[in-house]
Structure 1
Amino acid sequence: MVVIGIDAHKRTHTAVIIDGNGRKLVTKTCETTSKDHLSLLRWAAGHGENRVWAIEDCRNMTRRLEHDLLAAGERIVRVPPKLMAHARDAARTYGKSDPIEALAVARAALREDGLPTAHLDGPDRDLRRLVDHREDLIAERTRAVNRLRWHLHELDPEWDPPARSLDRASNLDRILHRLTDSSGTVARLAAAITQRCRSLTEEINTIEAEIRNLAEKLVPALIAIPGCAALTAAKILGETAGVTRFRSAATYARHNGTAPLPVWSSNRTRHRLSRTGNRQLNAALHRIATTQARCHQPAKDLIARRKNSGDGGLEALRVLKRRLSDVVYQALRTDYVLEA
Structure 2
Amino acid sequence: MTAAETYADSLRQVVVDDVTVALRLLVDRRDGLGHARTDLLNRIHKLLLELLPGGAKKFLSAPQARALLNTIRPRDLVGRTRRRLASELITELVQVDKKIKAADKELTELVETTGSSLQDLNGIGPSGAARLIGDVADISRFATRGHFASWNGTAPLDASSGDQQRHRLSRAGNRRINRALHIMAVVQLRHDTEGRTYYRRKLAAGKTSMEAMRALKRRLSDVVYKQMVKDAKKAGTGPGGHVGATLQSSAADRIPMIDTSEQSLPGPAEPQPRTPLLATS
Bin for the TM-score computed over the shorter chain: 0.5 to 0.7
Distance in 2 between residues matched to 1:161 and 1:241, nearest whole Å:
43
Larger radius of gyration: 1
1:135 maps to what in 2?
A: 31
1:181, distance to aligned residue in structure 2 (A): 9.2
Distance in 2 between residues matched to 1:236 and 1:126, nearest whole Å:
13
Select 2:92's aligned residue among 180, 193, 196: 196
1:254, distance to aligned residue in structure 2 (A): 0.2
Q: Which amino acid aligns with 2:30?
A: R
Select 1:279's aligned residue among 175, 181, 185: 175
1:292 aligns with 2:188: yes
Task: Give CA-to-partner distance per residue, 1:58-97, whole Å, 9 cap, x none.
Answer: xxxxxxxxxxxxxxxxx9xxxxxxxxxxxxxxxxxxxxxx
1:252 maps to what in 2?
A: 148
1:190, distance to aligned residue in structure 2 (A): 3.8
Contact 2:41 2:59 in 1 (8 A): no
* Sequence identity (%): 31
Q: SS of the counterpart of 1:134?
A: helix
1:250, distance to aligned residue in structure 2 (A): 1.5
**Number of matched pairs:** 233
Distance in 2 between residues matched to 1:153 and 1:118, nearest whole Å:
53
Task: Give CA-to-partner distance per residue, 1:181-211, whole Å, 9 cap, x none.
Answer: 9896555444333322211111111112222
Contact 2:199 2:213 in 1 (8 A): yes
2:136 maps to what in 1?
A: 240
1:221 maps to what in 2?
A: 117
Distance in 1 between residues matched to 2:183 and 2:36, nearest whole Å:
23
1:316 aligns with 2:222: no
Select 2:228's aligned residue among 323, 326, 332: 332
With over 3 angstroms needed to count, the CA separation of the structure-2 counterparts of 1:139 and 1:248, relative to structure 1, is same
Q: Which amino acid aligns with 1:134?
A: R
Q: Which amino acid aligns with 2:184?
A: I
Contact 1:216 1:223 in 2 (8 A): no
Contact 1:130 1:211 in 2 (8 A): yes
Q: Which amino acid aligns with 2:57?
A: P
1:244, distance to aligned residue in structure 2 (A): 3.1
With over 3 angstroms needed to count, the CA separation of the structure-2 counterparts of 1:314 and 1:162, relative to structure 1, is closer
Distance in 2 between residues matched to 1:261 and 1:129, nearest whole Å:
32
Q: Which amino acid aligns with 1:198?
A: V
1:118 aligns with 2:14: yes
TM-score computed with the length of structure 1 as normaliser: 0.55
Q: Which amino acid aligns with 1:225?
A: L
1:119, distance to aligned residue in structure 2 (A): 1.1
1:158 maps to what in 2?
A: 53
With over 3 angstroms needed to count, the CA separation of the structure-2 counterparts of 1:159 and 1:216, relative to structure 1, is farther
For 1:200-211, what aligned pairs fall within 5 Å after superposition?
200-211=96-107
Q: Which amino acid aligns with 2:100?
A: I
Contact 2:118 2:124 in 1 (8 A): yes
Contact 1:256 1:277 in 2 (8 A): yes
Contact 2:20 2:135 in 1 (8 A): no
Contact 1:259 1:274 in 2 (8 A): yes
With over 3 angstroms needed to count, the CA separation of the structure-2 counterparts of 1:267 and 1:130, relative to structure 1, is same
1:252, distance to aligned residue in structure 2 (A): 0.8
1:233, distance to aligned residue in structure 2 (A): 2.1
1:174 aligns with 2:67: yes
Contact 1:289 1:317 in 2 (8 A): yes
Contact 2:154 2:170 in 1 (8 A): yes
Contact 1:255 1:278 in 2 (8 A): yes
| 5+ residue gaps, structure 2 | 236-241, 244-281
Distance in 2 between residues matched to 1:251 and 1:153, nearest whole Å:
48
Contact 2:157 2:169 in 1 (8 A): yes
With over 3 angstroms needed to count, the CA separation of the structure-2 counterparts of 1:270 and 1:139, relative to structure 1, is closer
Contact 2:34 2:100 in 1 (8 A): yes
Task: Give CA-to-partner distance per residue, 1:229-283, whole Å, 9 cap, x none.
Answer: 3332223223324323323221111011111122347665443322211122122
Q: Which amino acid aligns with 1:174?
A: A
- Report the more deviating stretch, 173-182 or 195-204: 173-182
- The structure whose RCO (Cα within 8 Å, separation 6+) is larger is 2
Distance in 2 between residues matched to 1:211 and 1:131, nearest whole Å:
7
| 5+ residue gaps, structure 1 | 3-18, 21-48, 53-74, 76-112
Distance in 1 between residues matched to 2:164 and 2:54, nearest whole Å:
58
Distance in 1 between residues matched to 2:194 and 2:40, nearest whole Å:
42
Root mean square deviation, CA, Å: 3.7
